[in-house]
Amino acid sequence: MNLPDYNFLPAPLWLVTILHVVTLTLHFVAMNFLFGGMIILVFGKMPNKWQDPTVRRFLKLFPSAVAATVTLGVAPLLFAQLVYYRQVYAATIVSAWFWLDMVFAVMVAYYLLYAAAFKSGGKNGRVAVFVGLAAIIFVYVSFVFSTVFSMGERPDVYTSLYAANQSGLVINNEPGSWIFRWLHMVLGAVTVGGFFVGVLGKDNEPAWNLGKKAFLWGMVAAMVIGLVYLFTLGDALMAMMRSIAIWLIVAAIVLSLGALHFFFRRQFVLSGLLLFVSIVGMVVNRHMLRLILLDGKFDPATIPIVPQWSVFLMFLVCFVIAIGLVWYMLRAFITERTA
């Protein structure tokens, strides 16, 4: 009896890649609102911060933001596993317990943010504790994602680590491959979080000032760390310099600066659009860097294609409906709060 062969793609590689980029970008937008917003609220200074109306709006949105972040994160993870199943699977096996722990960690953070939302509005010091603990949990989650996926792009690393230890309690032992990548992601979240703080607090001077500072200095710090990360790539940096990736990086930086300019002029729609496109550019660059790091070790273009269009049609229909519902709920929330 011959077992069926599942080593194929159910759609052309270009379509899978586009869907991965689109869904990962949407996931990052939701994640940055949540993660960046929490960091800014925990460390930002405002008078009567936890009673401030803008802060209370964020606290009410955080539980829904967790749901949106998790939901929008499923699709890009599945698309990555569809193409890079060997790399992703191997890396998650090496750090298995840390990977599995994230499920329970996010559940705890989810309830902590619900508790903060229910307690908001009163002089209750527990709100700060709830949000602070949830932020620490998401720092852990972001750390695990960065270490695991950076390991997945280096087959020699996960091969040697697994050969030495199969406990599932092993972390990527090459911090240079993930620490600046992780810090860039965290600072990027602060940058985007600052945008949302400013937009939601545009009529609230303390919140507006806090959003401006977070947007400006988060972007400056993210750019600096991003450049440092590039110089840690070694030979991969030279390959990027010879490809379109370097131009995409420049374009993303210019778009980010444009978003900052229009944000300070309170042209939020244009600023948000430029910021979103810059995030798309960063996601595409992340994909191209993965291809460069895996060059000579794995080529996705060699995977056979056996189209299964009904499955993709079902996904697209459900995806469009889900995005429409999220947009409707956000508009309803904003309209209700501004009425």
Residue 328 lies in a domain: no
Helix (H, G, I), strand (E, B) or coil at 45: coil
CA–CA distance, 76 with 64 (Å, rounded to integer): 19
Residue 118 lies in a domain: yes
Q: pLDDT tens for residues 264-290?
A: 999 999 999 999 999 999 999 999 999
Q: Is-contact 225 183, C-beta < 8 A?
A: yes
Helix (H, G, I), strand (E, B) or coil at 294: coil
Residue 142 lies in a domain: yes
The boundaries of the domain holding residue 257 are 13-314
pLDDT given for residue 176 in this prediction: 85
CA–CA distance, 283 with 277 (Å, rounded to integer): 10
Q: Is-contact 69 327, C-beta < 8 A?
A: no
Residue 161 lies in a domain: yes
pLDDT tens per residue, the chain (339 residues)? 555 566 788 889 999 999 999 999 999 999 999 999 999 999 988 888 888 888 888 898 999 899 889 988 988 998 998 899 889 999 999 999 999 999 999 999 999 999 998 876 656 678 889 999 999 999 999 999 999 999 999 999 999 999 999 999 999 988 888 999 999 999 999 999 999 999 999 989 999 999 999 999 999 999 999 999 998 888 888 988 888 888 999 999 999 999 999 999 999 999 999 999 999 999 999 999 999 999 889 999 888 888 888 888 888 888 888 888 877 877 776 665 544
What is the CATH classification number for the domain harbouring 49? Answer: 1.20.1630
Residues pairing with 9 in the sheet: 305
Number of domains in the chain: 1
Residue 1 lies in a domain: no
Q: Is-contact 68 30, C-beta < 8 A?
A: yes
Q: pLDDT tens for residues 13-50?
A: 999 999 999 999 999 999 999 999 999 999 988 888 88
Residue 326 lies in a domain: no
Residues pairing with 305 in the sheet: 9
Backbone angles phi, psi at 176, to 5 degrees: -65, -25
pLDDT given for residue 1 in this prediction: 53
Residue 214 lies in a domain: yes
- In terms of C-beta density within 10 A (0-12 exposed, 13-18 middle, 19 or more buried), how is residue 338 classed? exposed
CA distances from 337 to 179, 199, 242, 329, 333 (A): 39, 13, 50, 12, 6
Q: Alpha-carbon torsion 142, 179, 187, 245, what sign?
A: negative
Looking at residue 128, its amino acid is: A
Residue 74 lies in a domain: yes
